Amino acid sequence: MDNAATPHKTETAQAKLTLPQTIAPNQSVPLVIDVQGSNGKAIANFDTFQEQLMHLIVVSDDLQHFSHLHPEFKGNGRFEINADFPQPGNYNLFADYKPAGQKEQVSLLKATVPGKLSTPFPTDLNRTKTFSDTKATLSLSNPTIKAGEEVTLQFNLQDAKTNQPLTNLQPYLGEKGHLVILRQSSPIIQENYIHAHALGKSRVGEVSFHTSFPQPGKYKLWGQFNRGGKIVTTDFWVEVK
């Protein structure tokens, strides 16, 4: 996938999600994803990209819960993994995969956890936040983001205690970092999803991404980085005019 990421559209494959009949919050749930070609037959082979055969991004409808999983390929188009859903509500599962010899594709799958929904969280537009022992600051190449215009998103990562740039950033899935972006909408649709990858050159403690936002609205960004073997997940909101 190139760095100027754009929303994905499924081309020649489709995925089906199978879940247990009953799902409870914070309980391990087996997920089965079957990928078929346009002819209805299971796809036998997949190409590795970013060190995996499938990336599964799980995000709740309220954009409060995020996880990045890697289901195991079992053959005959089938992937399996156990996951947990932390609270009741609707969840969006973006299965990102590459049938052998074809372009990378994304299928949007849905899951619902029954129960009483929690109170919505306010949108936090702060550009500096602390995640455990990592302090992250998001900087934009344009003061105002406009739909359809390319923009560079720069993450400045520091140690939360010393405020010094991180010197122990390592590759994550073969790159300096990964960035998942989702537009706030109801319902969330496949065109709301952007998966960007880090630019090559940057200063110590900095990771930059180049992308564009297809529509006006509020978007949530999850940047993931490997700090000395520990994956740090940051999250920020931006507003697109």
Checking if the pLDDT of 8 tops 70, the result is no
Specify the pLDDT at position 119. Answer: 77
Domain annotation covers residue 26: yes
Specify the pLDDT at position 9. Answer: 45
Checking if the pLDDT of 11 tops 70, the result is no
Domain annotation covers residue 6: no
Domain annotation covers residue 121: no
Q: Based on the domain organization, do 99 and 158 belong to the same domain?
A: no
Q: Based on the domain organization, do 45 and 99 belong to the same domain?
A: yes
Percent with pLDDT over 70 in the chain: 95
DSSP per residue over the chain, as a string?
Answer: --SSB------SEEEEEE--S---TTS-EEEEEEEEETTSPBP--B--BTTBSEEEEEEETTS--EEEE-PEEEETTEEEEEE---SSEEEEEEEEE-BTTS--EEEEEEEEE-SPPPPPPPP---SEEEETTEEEEEEESSSSB-TT-EEEEEEEEEETTT-PBPS-EE-BTTBS-EEEEEE--SS--GGGEEEEEB-S---TTEEEEEEE-SSSEEEEEEEEEEETTEEEEEEEEEEE-
Final residue of a domain: which of 113, 138, 157? Answer: 113
Q: Based on the domain organization, do 217 and 137 belong to the same domain?
A: yes
Q: Based on the domain organization, do 88 and 138 belong to the same domain?
A: no
Specify the pLDDT at position 96. Answer: 95
Q: 190: domain CATH number?
A: 2.60.40.1930
Q: Based on the domain organization, do 77 and 17 belong to the same domain?
A: yes
Q: Based on the domain organization, do 142 and 96 belong to the same domain?
A: no
**Is the pTM of the predicted complex or chain greater than 0.85?**
yes
Specify the pLDDT at position 122. Answer: 78
> What's the domain count of the chain?
2
Domain annotation covers residue 83: yes
Specify the pLDDT at position 6. Answer: 40
Final residue of a domain: which of 86, 113, 140? Answer: 113
Tell which wins on pLDDT, 202 or 170: 170
Domain annotation covers residue 118: no
Q: Based on the domain organization, do 37 and 85 belong to the same domain?
A: yes
Specify the pLDDT at position 134. Answer: 98
Q: Based on the domain organization, do 136 and 225 belong to the same domain?
A: yes
Specify the pLDDT at position 4. Answer: 40
Domain annotation covers residue 4: no
pLDDT digits (tens, 9 = 90+) for 53-104: 999 999 999 999 999 999 999 999 999 999 999 999 999 999 999 999 999 9
Q: Based on the domain organization, do 102 and 30 belong to the same domain?
A: yes
Domain annotation covers residue 122: no
Q: Based on the domain organization, do 19 and 55 belong to the same domain?
A: yes
Average pLDDT estimate for 12-28: 93
Domain range spanning residue 97?
A: 13-113
Q: Based on the domain organization, do 104 and 150 belong to the same domain?
A: no
Checking if the pLDDT of 2 tops 50, the result is no
Final residue of a domain: which of 78, 113, 148? Answer: 113
Tell which wins on pLDDT, 105 or 12: 105
Average pLDDT estimate for 168-185: 94
